[in-house]
Amino acid sequence: MAWIPEMQVLEAERVRWEEKRATLPATPPVQLTQRLGWHSEYSTSADKAEWVELNLGQAQKIDTVVLIAPPPNGGAVGAGYGFPVRFYVELLGEGEDHERTIIADFTEADFPNPGLLPVVIDTKGGLAQKVRITATRLVGGKERFFCALGEVMLLQGNHNLGARLEAIGPAAVRASSSQGTRPDWGRINLVDGHTVLGPPLGTRSSPALGFRSKPVSEVRATSHPWVEIDLGQVAIVDEVRLFPASPPQFAHSHGYGFPLRYQIELREEDNELSRVLPSPQSGSYNAVPGDNVVSIIGGHRARFVRLNVLEPHVSNGSVVLAMAEMQVWSDGKNIAPGSDITASDSTEAAGWSQNALVDGFASGAEILDWPAWLAGLSQRREVEHQLAVLEAKRANLTQHWQRLGLGLIIAIVVLGIITALIWLQRQRRTRLMEMERLRQRIAQDLHDEIGSSLGSIALIAQDILADDKHARDDLAEIKTIADETVDAMRDITRLMQSERYGTDDLPTLLRENASRTLRGMKHTVSIDNETQTRRLAVDRQRDLMLMFKEALHNITHHAEATEVAITLAQDHHDIILTVRDNGHGFDPAATTTGMGLTNLRRRATKHQGRADIASSPQGTTLTLTLPLHA
């Protein structure tokens, strides 16, 4: 439909938005964290007002307010979980008679769900002691409405004033209501730095992974590791930011090497007592940050900044301290790059080094400033919304033209059907006569040709048996193959005639095939008595048996296993067949050919089922799940 003028206009606009999106930061990988954010109580009305308020303690200049939805894990289901449908944001002054300034009002129409991207609101240089977000329409349904936020950032230049509230404690964050179980949900989670976005990273790859102490056995460890930055001169330390390490080999362990408990110590001189900064963990519970940035508020003079571990991270039985980057902010700038680093000890290999602690890179990429990065992601959210609107318009336009042509199409189809019916009626009699003649001919050929040939084979075999005793083994093998063929033919015949697969039922066939294929290998077959295999459709029984045979074939030919455990059970409305071996395993994601994995998944998907494969060097587990009903 590219010839339609309206469609051409939409396509040109889509191209412009796509070009705009290409200039913006990419959507970062989802960061998982145990601390999800703030969650209101449930209401029976979508129009109940719910609010949350951040109190800075005194009036502060705020450049932007950033709203981020909770991460889609734990109690949060789906991207943009709980983000208010309609809301407004206001700045409040000091005192009881404080001045109110609304900086964003989205109460006239539903706000598009932001998903995993931030909503950045410009305050136009506003001055405020408090920031309040009020939801006027909640999300949900069936008399169960609520709102939720993952993080609220109050940016002043490169600083997030919200991080200071975590040091103050839960009293700095008020809400109309709050529910949920800690540490997942809580008001203080709005300013804990745990977000779905993770650290602000660019596209330039990092030359190093960061700093890491030498791993020491947990049993033999006698002291805790530490690392220290020498700024070269005394400066006001406004904030210390810690970027957890994220090496590729520990991608499954977010926040690798980040200490469970620690403290930041400041000293002006090398031999003086240290000043300990307040812990960034607020409330009555702690939670590791994963890959998120940790901000520790300072406000003191220092030349030496030390991270001292109180309770270390333990990885694979070894005590280790790892950190991708350690920033020291003073007067709006990070003054740590190029500083001298000392440590209790250091790994100087495999991408780790002391100097990498202040090189401006996280473990994967360069570190960007918060304001520009967040603003770019917010623009990306708006661009993607516009692209979604254009796609909806294009779909509506397509449906419009489809409806216009529907009448003509129906007329053509009806005329074609009438013509085809007339032609089919004329051809039907001719085909019936041809089919009857073909049936008679096939029956005659089977009787004359195949029957005669089988008789000849029998006579020849009889002569050989009489004359040559050494041929008995070969003939016995022929007989075995013939018997197996007869059995297979009998299964097919019974399937066609009685709509049952095999000689008895599915469990019997499973046991027989397992005994035959796994001959000489230790194996068990467990059948749940509650399993109702007769309710499984015939074609599904057939495909389940074919997948089972394929699995046993893979074990005998590839796994080098010595034991196999087979279970058949029923879960709700599904039949579940599990085959587990103790072989050497393989990587399912890296296997693209052989072993029938594609056929297994294709057959399962054909019946709206699943073929799940979990493999490790200790063995492989195949779980086949097929629904009892279509």
Poorest-pLDDT segment among 148-157, 209-218, 589-598: 589-598
Topology of domain 506-627 in CATH is Heat Shock Protein 90 (3.30.565)
201-367: same fold as 38-191?
yes
Quote the pLDDT of residue 368: 96
CATH 3.40.109.10 fits 38-191, yes or no: no
Q: Where are the domains of the chain?
A: 38-191, 201-367, 506-627
**What is the Cα–Cα distance from 572 to 529, expressed in whole angstroms?**
14
Poorest-pLDDT segment among 43-47, 117-121, 374-378, 420-424: 420-424
Poorest-pLDDT segment among 242-256, 405-419, 465-479: 465-479
Poorest-pLDDT segment among 198-202, 255-259, 336-340, 485-489: 485-489
Quote the pLDDT of residue 353: 95
Q: Taking 70 as the threshold, does the pLDDT of residue 116 lie above it?
A: yes
Contacts of residue 437, defined as CB under 8 A and 6 or more positions apart, other chains included, come to: none
**Single pTM value for the model:** 0.64
Q: Taking 80 as the threshold, does the pLDDT of residue 493 lie above it?
A: no
Q: What percent of the chain has pLDDT over 90?
A: 49
Contacts of residue 449, defined as CB under 8 A and 6 or more positions apart, other chains included, come to: none
519-575 pLDDT, tens digit each? 889 999 998 887 777 777 777 888 888 889 889 988 988 889 999 999 999 888 889
pLDDT band at 427 (very low <50, low <70, confident <90, very high): confident
294-330 pLDDT, tens digit each? 999 888 999 999 999 998 888 888 899 999 999 999 9
Poorest-pLDDT segment among 307-321, 334-348, 362-376, 503-517: 503-517
Q: Taking 70 as the threshold, does the pLDDT of residue 595 lie above it?
A: no
* Average pLDDT score over residue span 71-78: 69
**What is the Cα–Cα distance from 485 to 481, expressed in whole angstroms?**
6
Q: Mean pLDDT of all residues in the chain?
A: 84
Quote the pLDDT of residue 328: 97
Asked whether the bond before 183 is cis by omega within 30 degrees of 0, the reply is yes
Length of the chain: 630
pLDDT band at 592 (very low <50, low <70, confident <90, very high): low
* Average pLDDT score over residue span 239-265: 89
**What is the Cα–Cα distance from 548 to 572, expressed in whole angstroms?**
21
Instruction: Supply the CATH classification number for the domain 201-367.
Output: 2.60.120.260
Quote the pLDDT of residue 447: 43
pLDDT band at 161 (very low <50, low <70, confident <90, very high): very high
* Average pLDDT score over residue span 49-58: 94
Poorest-pLDDT segment among 117-126, 189-198, 465-474, 610-619: 465-474
* Average pLDDT score over residue span 255-275: 89
SS3 of 461, please?
helix
- Phi/psi region, residue 80 (left: phi>0; alpha: psi -120 to 50; beta: rest), is left
378-424 pLDDT, tens digit each? 999 999 999 999 999 988 888 888 888 787 888 888 888 998 888 88
Of 96 and 587, the one with more pLDDT: 587
Q: Taking 90 as the threshold, does the pLDDT of residue 601 lie above it?
A: no
pLDDT band at 463 (very low <50, low <70, confident <90, very high): low
78-103 pLDDT, tens digit each? 789 999 999 999 999 876 566 889 99
Structure-block tokens of residue 292 = 């998120």
Closest among 100, 165, 88, 169 to 128, alpha carbons compared:
100
Q: Taking 70 as the threshold, does the pLDDT of residue 594 lie above it?
A: no
Query: Containing H/E element for 212?
Result: strand 211-212
**What is the Cα–Cα distance from 51 to 93, expressed in whole angstroms?**
17
Contacts of residue 429, defined as CB under 8 A and 6 or more positions apart, other chains included, come to: none
Q: Judging by DSSP bridges, how do beta strands 38-39 and 86-92 pair with one another?
A: unpaired
